[in-house]
C-alpha cells in the first residue's frame, strides 16, 4: 500500500483578495486566512495562496514553462462536474464547458484563474 499523499500545494499569486474572491466563488469559504495568505481544504489536501516572496520583473504565470502546467481537482460524478460548471458560469468565469480529455477519455472543465494559472475539474469516477 502506498502511504504517500499530497499534503499541501502553495501557489504564488499577485493579489490575495482577488484570489479569495475568485476561488471562493466555487470552492466556498477558505479554511484559513491572514493578510499574507489564504488556504482552502480540498479533500485531505490544503491549497495555499501567497504573494511572491520577492518582486521580479514580468511576474506573470506561464503554463508552458518548466514547472506547473495546471492543477486539476477531481470529482466523482458527472452531476458534480456539471454543478461546478454551473458555478463557474454563474460567477461569470470563462471556462471550456464540459469536454472529453483526448488522452484519458474523461470529462473535464478547464478555466484560468486571475493570474492565468490553469485549473480543471476532472471526472474520475471510483473504480
DSSP state letters, 18-50: HHHHHHHHHH-S-SEEETTEEEEEETTEEEEEE
Domain for residue 57, yes or no? no
Q: How far apart are CA 48 and CA 91, in angstroms?
A: 21
Over residues 75-117, the pLDDT tens digits come to: 999 999 999 999 999 999 999 999 999 998 999 999 999 999 9
Write out the residue range of the structural domain in which residue 84 sits: 70-127
Domain for residue 104, yes or no? yes
Domain for residue 58, yes or no? no
CATH code, 35: 3.10.180.10
Domain for residue 98, yes or no? yes
Q: Which helix (H) or strand (E) holds 98?
A: none
Domain for residue 61, yes or no? no
Domain for residue 40, yes or no? yes
Residue 1 has pLDDT above 60, yes or no: no
Q: Are residues 76 and 102 in the same domain?
A: yes
Over residues 20-78, the pLDDT tens digits come to: 999 999 999 999 998 889 999 999 999 999 988 877 777 777 777 778 899 999 999 99
Q: How far apart are CA 122 and CA 125, in angstroms?
A: 9
Please state the domain count of the chain: 2
Over residues 67-76, the pLDDT tens digits come to: 889 999 999 9
pTM as predicted = 0.85
Domain for residue 59, yes or no? no
Domain for residue 74, yes or no? yes
Q: Are residues 48 and 74 in the same domain?
A: no
Amino acid at each position: 500500500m502506498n502511504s504517500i499523499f499530497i499534503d499541501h500545494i502553495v501557489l504564488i499569486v499577485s493579489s490575495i483578495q482577488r484570489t479569495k474572491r475568485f476561488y471562493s466563488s466555487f470552492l466556498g469559504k477558505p479554511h484559513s486566512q491572514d493578510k499574507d495568505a489564504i488556504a482552502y481544504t480540498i479533500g485531505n489536501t490544503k491549497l495555499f495562496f501567497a504573494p511572491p516572496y520577492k518582486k521580479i520583473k514580468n511576474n506573470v504565470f506561464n503554463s508552458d514553462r518548466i514547472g506547473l502546467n495546471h492543477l486539476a481537482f477531481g470529482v466523482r460524478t458527472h452531476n458534480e462536474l456539471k454543478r461546478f460548471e454551473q458555478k463557474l458560469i454563474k460567477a461569470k468565469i470563462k471556462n471550456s464547458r464540459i469536454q472529453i480529455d483526448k488522452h484519458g477519455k474523461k470529462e473535464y472543465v478547464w478555466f484560468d484563474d486571475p493570474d492565468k494559472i490553469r485549473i480543471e475539474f476532472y471526472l474520475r469516477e471510483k473504480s
